[in-house]
Amino acid sequence: MKLLIPLILLVVLTGCSTHSVKLGKKCTKLAEDNTYEKSFVWIINNKNLENFDQKISKKNCLVNGEKL
């Protein structure tokens, strides 16, 4: 059951035509106030897909002190 719900959500989310879903732990760069965002599921507008890897990546998690 624990595996079924995420699989159904994944199928539903990937059906969006204007958005893409990226999976895996990724983080934003550290802000001026020492905060950042991290997530395992990222929903990205297809218009911003080209810039996504520059702004949000696994490398940022390591720089921010997160463990992969």
10-residue averages of pLDDT along the chain (68 residues): 81 70 91 93 87 91 85
What pLDDT was estimated at residue 50? Answer: 87
Beta strand pairing call for 56-57 and 38-45: unpaired
What pLDDT was estimated at residue 35? Answer: 93
Note the pTM of the prediction, 2 decimals: 0.65
Residue closest to 52 by CA, chosen among 65, 42, 62: 42
What pLDDT was estimated at residue 67? Answer: 76
CA-CA-CA-CA torsion for 33, 38, 43, 44, nearest 10 degrees?
50
Beta strand pairing call for 19-28 and 56-57: antiparallel
What pLDDT was estimated at residue 13? Answer: 67
The first and second tokens of residue 56, run together, are 């949000």
